[in-house]
Amino acid sequence: MEIQLNFAPLEEIEAEALAVVVFDKEKGEPLGPRAEQSEPLRRLVQPLLESGEASGKPYEAAMIHRPEGLKARRLVLVGGGKRDRFGAVELRRAAGAAARFLRPKSISQFVFLADAPGLEPAAQAAAAVEGAVVADFEADKYKTEKKEQKRIERLELAGFDQALESRLSETIHRSRILAESQNFARDLINEPSNRMTPTILAERACLMAAETGLECEIFGRDKIEELKMGAFAAVARGSAEPPALIVLRYTPAGAPERPLLGFIGKGITFDTGGISIKPSEGMEKMKYDMAGGASMIAVLRAIALLRPPLKAMAVIAATENMPGGRAQKPGDIQVAMSGKTIEVVNTDAEGRLVLADALHYAKTLGCTHLVDAATLTGAIAVALAGVNLGAFGNDQAFLEQFLAAARDCGEKAWPMPLDDEYRELIRGHMADIQNVGGRHGGAVTAAMFLKEFSGDTPWIHLDIAGTAWVDEAKAYIAKGASGVAIRSLVTLALRLASG
């Protein structure tokens, strides 16, 4: 998508469509501070609000053809809800709703008025770009009867002071890379498991690395066993598909040795549950169990394109979890790369096993800060539904940096506990620890398990099981993979790079 700034007065903008946010008419002024300065806009909007054709209800859209007093061929009114509660999150979604409303109508170019009261210009530009680019995505690549591909080819942002052009152009560049990287991950996650095996995921990662200047190494089963990654290897044994340990490195010239930021991803390309097999209902969605790994690949993509002065790497443990004849069984004891022994109580708690070895390996490669992301537990969805991802950490300052980045990126993350008492729930009977901690607090005990392998290294764990998949399409995003946390993690990296 081509993205430009348009500094013309609203009345003089020539476009296929001009999209403007309207607010709940019962809660004050129905237009934002920029839109309300336009007499033609006020004159056009008021009758629609009074008749109920436009309500201001969040993300509902209405269109006026040949709007009187405007040069744009269409005026699109996108509901913004309550004016006094309209911020970056709502602006991002409104831009996405405008794009998804216009896209099926074969409108390839539109102007969006970024107009959030009280939000500074760069934040408005970032939200509008990210919302529109993420919205311009559909998971329909395998439909043979799909209509001619419809895309938004150009977005123009209006309502800004031309004196801010240089700064806003930088913001647009960064935000487009963030959103395109999010879509890159969504495309990987949406792939069916027969078309996204560990081998294919590794190939896609290396192809991306070649395009962006990253270093890429792929290790197979023999190397995984040579490294004594007993937990990872045990999960992989049940599948005929070979596992892959994917390592991506970003090492810019002149970057300081510290920090070295490690992004660790769970890459289970399909999860049957293994011998502790899952119910068949909904199992088809288990292709998304590699969302954490795909997200970390996308994070390195964005970092490589934005080129901050910071060393970073991604380590993704990719395999299937299958109930084959060589699959691990409940009661088995595995020895992780760190030397810690693990009693496998439930083979469907496999993500923490592969992450245990990936986390330890990242530490051996010199990472000074670790972040892992995984669709780890159904328990996090029980606790937080599909609204917030769960954020755990052993270093409060580092965790707060991530939470601040998430807030600024419009992504919802909720801090979760890691009290020492939870350690007792995973204490092993026949080994050092066991891989499940009982019925209660499942997301916390899973994080507590991973904490055993992060040690004293500052570490954040993101459980994205409830937020990595959109079950039903929304006005601003398609059904399927969401690409959650990518923007936040890249922002965290950029802030660490800038000190």
CATH number belonging to the domain at 2-159, selected among 3.40.220.10, 3.40.50.720, 3.30.1360.170, 3.30.360.10: 3.40.220.10
Residue 35 has pLDDT above 80, yes or no: yes
| Sequence ranges of the domains in the chain | 2-159, 187-498
380-405: burial string, b at 16+ Cβ within 10 Å, e else:
bbebbebebbbbbbbbeebbebbbeb
So what's the pLDDT on residue 28? 67
Q: Provide the β-strand partners of residue 110.
A: 155
For residue range 146-195, list pLDDT tens digits in order.
656 678 999 999 999 999 999 999 999 999 999 999 999 999 999 999 99
For residue range 444-459, list pLDDT tens digits in order.
999 999 999 999 999 9
How big, in percent rounded to 5, are the helix, strand and coil portions of the chain?
Answer: 40, 20, 40
Q: How far is CA 399 from CA 45, 163, 294, 417, 494, in A?
A: 44, 36, 22, 12, 15
d(CA 151, CA 99): 9
Catalytic, 352? Answer yes
Q: Provide the β-strand partners of residue 335.
A: 341
d(CA 200, CA 183): 18
Residue 54 has pLDDT above 90, yes or no: no
Asked whether the domain spanning 187-498 has the same topology as the one spanning 2-159, the reply is no
Please tell me whether the peptide bond between 259 and the residue prior to it is cis, using omega within 30 degrees of 0. Answer: yes
So what's the pLDDT on residue 147? 59
> Are 351 and 235 in contact, with CB atoms under 8 Å apart?
no
Residue 17: name the closest of 159, 154, 215 by CA.
154
So what's the pLDDT on residue 167? 96
The band of 53, judged by pLDDT with boundaries at 50, 70 and 90, is confident
The owner of tokens 């009187």 is 68
Catalytic, 73? Answer no
Residue 318 has pLDDT above 70, yes or no: yes
The owner of tokens 């969504």 is 186
For residue range 64-104, list pLDDT tens digits in order.
999 999 999 999 999 999 998 999 999 999 999 999 999 99
The band of 499, judged by pLDDT with boundaries at 50, 70 and 90, is confident
**What is the average per-residue pLDDT within 222-230?**
98
Structure-block tokens of residue 253: 């010239």
- H or E segment and range at residue 184: helix 165-190
So what's the pLDDT on residue 182? 98
Instruction: Spot the catalytic one: 42, 150, 278, 495.
Output: 278
Helices (H) and strands (E) counted in the chain, each on its own, are 13, 19
Question: What mean pLDDT, rounded, does the chain reach?
Answer: 96
- Name the CA radius of gyration of the chain, rounded: 24
For residue range 330-386, list pLDDT tens digits in order.
999 999 999 999 999 999 999 999 999 999 999 999 999 999 999 999 999 999 999
Q: Provide the β-strand partners of residue 313.
A: 249, 262
Residue 268 has pLDDT above 70, yes or no: yes
The owner of tokens 């290790």 is 219
d(CA 406, CA 400): 10
Instruction: Spot the catalytic one: 186, 301, 340, 352.
Output: 352
The two most distant CA atoms of the chain are separated, in Å, by: 78
For residue range 411-428, list pLDDT tens digits in order.
999 999 999 999 999 999
Residue 305 has pLDDT above 70, yes or no: yes
The owner of tokens 């996308």 is 298
The CATH code of the domain at 187-498 is 3.40.630.10
Structure-block tokens of residue 194: 């027969």
